Amino acid sequence: MARASPGVVAALIASSRALLEILVDDTTTVVAFLEDITDLSDSERTALSGRVGAGITDQTMEMLGFVWRDVAEQLIGSSVALADYVYESATGALVLAEAKGSITSAATQGGADSTAHNAYLRQVQPYVYLSPPGPKGGPSVGFIEHGYALAFAARPGHAPGPTAPPPPAIAADAFLAVAETDPTAIAPTAGAGPGTGTALSVQIPPPPPPARTHEPQSFDLRLGNYRAVFLLANAPSVVAKIDAVLLKSDISPGIQSFVQVVCGDRSFLIGIDPTFPSIDALRPHLSGWVFAVALGPAEKFLHQLANAFNQGFSRAVPVQQLVRGGGEKPPPFIMSPDGFAMLRRDATFETHEVTWNPGNGQITRFDLPPNTPLR
């Protein structure tokens, strides 16, 4: 499966974000959708529901301590149904995750349970406790220790009002079901069949300790992850360099520029792309969240990426728990374990523009006017 270009991904982000701003009920503190979503055609509502399900799946996996690594089809060769994504734990163990989403007036908890259970049996279980080959018979990405299938379902137009008592994280008319590899099962010996699964409710137990700890056999695992991270952070030259490494090409893209910003108690990088509006042009129109990469993980990854051919590619950043910045409500930022972050509008410019040379890995800082508001 070919990877989507930065332009295609940017268009998908813009369209999904605009729809969610209109269709999500902002008057309640729970996950709820306005009745207007029923005005979409069946195909449009199905596509949007799938993206919402993928987003909730990703948040759930990160809360469990996993880091998204890549679309499963990029890492696993299969002629039958396959889960959506590959995640990694702090010990290097790999897990599969299948995401399902449905927004319909017929949504029920029982329906979500059934969807998750069936998805696990069909798209996850056949690969658990195995080392499946890579695409086109290539080397295996590693041993699959565990698997999940998550199904989100919601009935639009049934959210409690803004004066209702504080509800749980998901409303009575929104449902989440998870099917996962039985945590009490013992991994079979090599050559045995795949693991079994069990359907669970919203209360998800932490993942069991993996049967083995290791570094994944292929650095493609992390390259795919950081390709998505820097694409969202508006850094196309980094994306192009990753593509060159994956394709074993010696083509070197142009220098990538970033603006360094501070949000809460951390520094972040936001890419500058000539084909996108400049940060200055965006300021009057920014609302909600801005994508960025934490400074420390970004610098470490960029140094390794520039030297990937000569020195190999090791673990870019240690996996840690999801970080929600500061003690404020709402928090100034949310940062994934790999350094990918979403910043609020109260981010401010530091005194630097940062450039990265893909050829030699050199990172250079230039002075900018200090304390420029990102608005």
Q: Answer yes or no: are the C-beta atoms of 234 and 272 closer than 8 Å.
A: yes
- Write down the pLDDT at residue 360: 84
- Write down the pLDDT at residue 332: 76
- Write down the pLDDT at residue 72: 94
- Write down the pLDDT at residue 165: 40
- Write down the pLDDT at residue 169: 39
Provide the residue type at 115 as one letter: T
- What is the C-alpha separation between 101 and 51, in angstroms, rounded? 7
- What is the C-alpha separation between 120 and 170, in angstroms, rounded? 22
- What is the C-alpha separation between 268 and 276, in angstroms, rounded? 19
Beta bridge partners of 144: 94
Query: Rounded to an integer, what is the distance from CA 25 to the centroid of its chain?
Result: 23
Question: Could you read off the pLDDT tens digit of each residue along the chain, which spans 375 residues?
Answer: 678 877 787 788 778 888 888 888 777 667 788 888 888 898 989 999 999 999 889 988 887 878 888 999 999 998 889 999 999 887 778 999 999 999 988 898 899 999 999 999 999 999 999 999 988 888 888 899 999 999 999 988 755 444 444 433 344 478 889 999 986 655 554 444 444 444 343 333 344 444 444 444 445 667 888 888 898 888 989 998 988 888 878 777 889 999 888 887 889 999 887 655 554 544 444 445 678 999 998 998 898 888 876 555 444 444 444 445 555 455 678 788 788 888 865 666 666 789 999 888 889 988 766 555 544
User: What b-and-e string marks burial along 189-209, b requiring 16 or more CB atoms within 10 Å of the CB?
Assistant: eeeeebbebebbeeebeebbe
Beta bridge partners of 61: none
**Residue ranges of the domains in the chain?**
6-200, 220-366
3-state secondary structure of 231: helix
- Write down the pLDDT at residue 321: 44
Supply the Cα-derived Rg of the chain in whole angstroms. 21
The conformational region for residue 279 under phi > 0 = left, psi -120 to 50 = alpha, else beta, is alpha
Query: In degrees to the nearest 10, what's the CA dihedral of 329, 332, 335, 339?
Result: -170
Burial (CB < 10 A; 0-12, 13-18, 19+), residue 163, is exposed
- Write down the pLDDT at residue 212: 46
What is the pairing mode between strands 323-324 and 333-335?
A: antiparallel
Which residue is it, tokens 């749980």?
168
| pTM above threshold 0.75 | no
Paired tokens of 194: 């795949």
- What is the C-alpha separation between 197 and 181, in angstroms, rounded? 4
**Nearest to 193, CA basis, from 117, 118, 129, 145:** 129
User: Across the chain, how many H-helices and E-strands are there?
Assistant: 9, 14
- Write down the pLDDT at residue 221: 64
